[in-house]
Amino acid sequence: MSANQSVAATDAESLYSFDDTATLAPAESRTIPRTVSDETLAPQVVSNTTVQIPTTSADVANEAVDGGSRFIFTQDNPMNTTILSPERHQPPLYKVETTFTDGTVTRVERVQGGEGEVLAKLFWGDLGYDKIALGATGEKMRLGKVLKSGPFFSETVSFKDGQGRKYEWKGNRVGLHLRLYALDTPGTPIASFTKSRADERTGKVIPAYLTINRRGQEILDMVVWSFCFLEKGKRSSENSYRNVYRGPV
């Protein structure tokens, strides 16, 4: 695995330590790409600070994922981040990177155990007409043909896996958080995202994470890239909303 696809071991170890003594490695030891500006997606970066992830009643109500594991984002930026396994001492699972050399392109790669396998690429377009290509050499198509939005003003986006099973991301709207449901196992979500935030008691950064249960892990690759692409669009909409409605400065 190349240097730009890895996270320093001390950094990964600290992100897995959810107690008051867990400390992130210094920023200079990190090798995560940071090519999308704060103004573009307002990412919240996990910096050189102490990290803890307390379990609270609010977290339980927010996630509602039965038996889920936490897949941690080293940066709270769906277009530039590394995603870690819930198991300690494992190399990073995924890398998400955005480049601008040939238009604006975001790649989601599975990096554990090799040099990286491209799962999906998002080609940013004008007027919201983004295109997607599945795999390293897949044909480009409208993003809406793969991630299908519900009726006008709907907060739901659906897709199917290789077995034809249907899934729905809910909460795809400004002010909501994304939760994934499998229609063949109705009930609680199989995946849910929690943004990074400051602990109200200590002010310390709690990193962002996807909570995914065993059912969701059956299609883990699809969960990751579909989430990243939807969250990108959602945050862009949220930034536009704030710019319009924040009022006079």
Residues 155-172: pLDDT tens digits? 999 999 999 999 999 999
Q: Alpha-carbon distance 212 to 193, whole Å? A: 9
Residues 205-234: pLDDT tens digits? 889 999 999 999 999 999 999 999 999 999
pLDDT at position 240 is: 62
Buried/exposed 210-223: b ≥16 CB within 10 Å, e otherwise: bbbbebbeebbebb
Q: Please write down the HEC assignment for all residues of 31-60.
A: CCCCCCCHHHHCCEECCCCEECCCCCHHHH
pLDDT at position 189 is: 96
- Calculate the average pLDDT of the chain: 77
Residues 127-154: pLDDT tens digits? 668 999 999 999 999 999 999 998 888 9
pLDDT at position 10 is: 38
Give 121's strand partners. Answer: 107, 133
Kindly tell me the burial class for residue 173, based on how many C-beta atoms sit within 10 Å of its own C-beta (0-12, 13-18, 19 or more): middle
What SS3 class is residue 75? strand
CA distances from 227 to 16, 24, 56, 222, 231 (A): 22, 25, 24, 8, 6
The 8 Å CB, 24+ separation contacts for 157-163 are: 157/226, 157/230, 159/222, 159/226, 161/219, 161/222
Residues 6-49: pLDDT tens digits? 433 434 444 544 333 232 233 233 333 333 333 334 334 443 33
